[in-house]
Chains A and B, each alone.
Chain A
Amino acid sequence: MIKPIVIVVGNGMVGYKFCEKLRAKSAEFEIIVFGEEPRRAYDRVHLSEYFAGKTAEDLSMCTATWYAENNITLHLGDPITEIIRSTKTINSQKGIVLKYDYLIMATGSAAFVPNLPGVEKEGVFVYRTIEDLDLMKAWAAKSKSGAIMGGGLLGLEAAKALIDLGIEETHVIEFAPRLMPRQIDSAGSAILQQKLATFGLTVHLNKNTSYIAGDHKIEALKFNDDTELPLDMLVISAGIRPRDELAKLCGLEVGLRGGIVVNQSLQTSDPSIFAIGECALYDQMIYGLIAPGYEMAEVVAANLCNAQKQFNGFDMSTKLKLIGVDVASFGDAFITEPDCRTIIFEDTHKGVYKRINISNDGQQLLGGILIGDAEAYSMLLQTVNNKIVLPPNPEDLILGSRGGATAEGAGVMNLPDEALVCSCEAVTKGDICSAVMEQDITTIDGMKKCTKAGTGCGGCIPMVKDIITGTLKENGKYIKNVICEHFDYSRQELLDLIRINKIKTYDQVLDTFGKGDGCESCKPPIASMLAGLWNEVILKQDTIQDSNDRYLANIQKGGTYSVVPRIPGGEITADKLIVIGQVAKEYNLYTKITGGQRIDLFGAHVMDLPAIWEKLIDAGFESGHAYGKSLRTVKSCVGSTWCRFGLHDSVSFAIEIENRYKGLRSPHKLKGGVSGCVRECAEAQAKDFGLIATEKGWNLYICGNGGSKPQHAQLLATDINEATCIQYLDRFLMFYIKTADTLTRTATWLNKMDGGMSYLKNVIVNDSLGICQSLEEEIAQLIQGYTCEWKEVVDNQNLKKKFNHFVNAPNEKDPSIKFEPLREQKQAAAW
Chain B
Amino acid sequence: MTQTQWILACNTTDIPENGGACVKINDEQIAVFNFTRRGEWYATQNLCPHKQQMALSRGMIGSAGDACEPKVACPFHKKTFSLLTGECLSGDECAIKTYPVKVLDGEVWLGV
Contact = CB atoms under 8 A, between A and B. Distances in A.
B68 A520 contact: no
Interface stretch (A110-118, A469-477, A543-551, A699-707): A543-551
A49 interface: no
A517 B53 contact: no
A133 B32 CA distance: 72
A498 B59 CA distance: 25
Interface in B41-69: 47, 51-55, 58-65, 68
A548 B71 CA distance: 19
Contacts of A520: 59-60, 62, 73, 78, 80
Contacts of B55: 547, 555, 559
Contact of A807 (B17, B21, B47, B71): B21
Contact of A516 (B9, B14, B24, B63): B63
Contacts of A806: 22-24, 29
Contacts of A767: none
A543 B17 contact: yes
B10 interface: yes
Contact of A808 (B9, B52, B60, B68): B9
Interface string A388-422: 00000000000000000000000000000000000
Interface in A501-522: 507, 510, 516-520, 522
A544 B23 contact: no
Contacts of B32: 807
Interface stretch (A64-72, A228-236, A342-350, A809-817): A809-817
A78 to B, nearest CB: 51
A485 interface: yes
Given A520-B59, A558-B53, A808-B10, A546 B75 contact: yes
Main SS at interface, chain A: loop
A523 interface: yes
Interface in B1-22: 9-10, 14-22
A802 interface: yes
Given A551-B58, A809-B24, A542 B19 contact: yes
A805 interface: yes
Given A808-B14, A808-B24, A517 B37 contact: yes
Contacts, number: 96
A806 to B, nearest CB: 5
B62 A517 contact: yes
Contact of B73 (A519, A807, A817): A519
> In which size bucket is the chain A interface?
20 to 34
A831 interface: yes
A807 B23 contact: yes
B16 A542 contact: yes
Given A519-B71, A544-B18, A816 B29 contact: yes
Contacts of B37: 507, 510, 517-518
Contacts of B17: 543
A546 B60 contact: yes
A543 B19 contact: yes
Contacts of A831: 51-52
A517 B78 contact: no
B70 interface: yes
Contact of A518 (B47, B54, B63): B63
Given A831-B51, A831-B52, A807 B60 contact: no
Given A519-B64, A520-B62, A814-B22, 8 more contacts: A517-B35, A520-B59, A520-B78, A543-B17, A550-B58, A555-B76, A808-B24, A814-B54
Interface of A: 485-486, 507, 510, 516-520, 522-524, 542-544, 546-548, 550-551, 555, 558-559, 802, 805-809, 812, 814, 816-817, 831
12 contacts: A507-B18, A510-B37, A517-B70, A543-B16, A543-B18, A543-B20, A543-B60, A546-B75, A547-B75, A555-B76, A559-B54, A807-B22
- Leading 4 A-B pairs by shortest Cβ distance: A543-B19, A547-B75, A519-B62, A517-B63
